[in-house]
């Protein structure tokens, strides 16, 4: 059974996929106020993710939650690059780099630049 990762799209992220075929795959939540892309993760690959990040878990909906920010950011980066949701292999190729970045997340997460 596959699992899923939800990638939230704020305006900045949305602008990077606007006008591509991905736009049709957006799921709308909260009356359309929140946009997300759902990435399907085959079971053997979700096991790899769970193994890499000890806090990660599968929730009751089958979504992989409590994964590091670095992982989610990498998922979106690959989506934006490939203009496709079929990116989990590309993300897993970067796993070592993501694990290293995630280690620093207990100490520091860069704040967003907002006014």
Partner 1 sequence: MPLIKTPPPHGGKLVDRVVKKRDIAEKMVAGCPTFELKPTTLPDGTPIRHVYREIMSVCYGFFSPVEGSMVQNELERVLNERRLLSEWIFPYPILFDISEEDYKALDVKEGDRLLLMLKGQPFATIDIEEIYKIDPTDVATRTFGTPEKNPEVVREPFNEKHPGYMIYKMHKPVILAGKYTIVNEPKFKEPFDRFWFPPAKCREVIKNEKKWRTVIAHQTRNVPHVGHEMLMKCAAYTGDIEPCHGILVNAIIGAKRRGDYPDEAILEGHEAVNKYGYIKPERHMVTFTLWDMRYGNPIESLLHGVIRQNMGCTHHMFGRDHAAVGEYYDMYATQILWSKGIPSFGFEAPPNEVDYGLKIIPQNMAEFWYCPICQEIAYSESCGHTDAKQKFSGSFLRGMVAEGVFPPRVVMRPEVYKAIVKWWKVYNYPFVNRKYLDMKNKELEIDLPAMEVPKA
Q: Which residues are paired to 34 by β-bridges?
A: 29
Residue from 11, 24, 44, 54 in contact with partner 1 (CB under 8 A): 11
| Nearer Cβ to partner 1 (44/60) | 60
Q: Phi and psi of 64, rounded to 5°? A: -85, 120
Work out whether 69 is an interface residue with partner 1 (CB under 8 A).
yes
Minimum distance from CB of 84 to partner 1 (Å)? 21
Residue of 43, 65, 97, 100 interacting with partner 1 (CB under 8 A): 65
**With contact defined as beta carbons under 8 Å apart, do 21 and 79 qualify?**
no
Q: How far apart are CB 25 and partner 1 at their closest, in Å?
A: 18
H, E, C per residue of 6-27: EEEECHHHHHHHCCCHHHHHCE
CB neighbours of 79 closer than 8 A, spacing ≥ 6? 7, 17, 22, 37, 39, 85, 87
x-or-dash string of contact with partner 1, 21-60, rule CB under 8 A: --------xxx-xx--------------------------
In angstroms, the CA 24 to CA 89 distance is 22
Enumerate binding residues for partner 1 (CB under 8 A): 8, 10-11, 13, 29-31, 33-34, 65-66, 69, 72-73, 105-112, 114
């Amino acid at each position: 059974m596959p699992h899923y990762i939800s990638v939230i799209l704020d305006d900045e992220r949305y602008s990077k996929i606007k006008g591509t075929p991905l736009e049709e795959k957006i799921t709308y939540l909260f009356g359309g106020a929140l946009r997300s892309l759902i990435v399907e993760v085959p079971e053997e690959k979700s096991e790899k993710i769970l193994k890499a990040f000890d806090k990660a878990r599968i929730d009751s909906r089958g979504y992989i939650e409590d994964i590091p920010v670095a992982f989610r950011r990498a998922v979106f980066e690959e989506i934006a690059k490939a203009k496709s949701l079929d990116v989990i292999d590309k993300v897993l190729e970067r796993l070592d780099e993501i694990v290293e970045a995630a280690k620093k997340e207990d100490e520091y997460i860069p704040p967003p630049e907002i006014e």
